[in-house]
Amino acid sequence: MELVEAVQFNMMHELKNKNIAIETNPTSNYLIGTFRRYAKHTITKFFNLGLELNHEKIKNCPQLSVSINTDDQGIFSTSLENEFALMAIALEKEKDENGNLRYNSSMIYEWLERVRLMGIGQSFNS
């Protein structure tokens, strides 16, 4: 398991070095993936600036360019607004090891705004 985590960590930093953006699809990833809570979506492992206060965790995160998307709307029956809302609600409910809310609303909405802006930057629109 440690080897797999080390490979994933190195791969994320390689993606960062090559300026490769990551498109995430929370509902699709939830329905076909291995996590059972939106707050555990890997997007927060790719980009945690604004959600984390621990400088060591911020430093160790690759801070990849990420976006939240919808994947196949016909199959997953979602919208971009819904994807952002699901992430916001999940993060608002997330608790730390002491049972306290992990994030406040300002942290969540600033983080979502950064993700939204990265998504615009990744688009093909001029």
Give the rounded distance of the alpha carbon of 88 from its chain centre: 11
Beta strands in the chain (DSSP E): 22-24, 66-68
Give me 110's structure tokens: 């600033």
Amino acid at 15: L
At residue 76, the pLDDT reads: 83
Amino acid at 72: D
d(CA 117, CA 123): 10
pLDDT digits (tens, 9 = 90+) for 51-69: 999 999 999 999 999 999 9
Read off the pLDDT of each residue in 86-96 and give the average, rounded to a whole number. Answer: 96
Q: How many CA atoms lie within 13 A of 35 on its CB side?
A: 15
Q: Rounded mean pLDDT of 38-44?
A: 93
Q: What is the pLDDT of residue 83?
A: 95
The pTM (predicted TM-score) of the whole model is 0.89
pLDDT single digits (tens) 3-38: 998 999 999 999 999 999 999 999 999 988 888 899
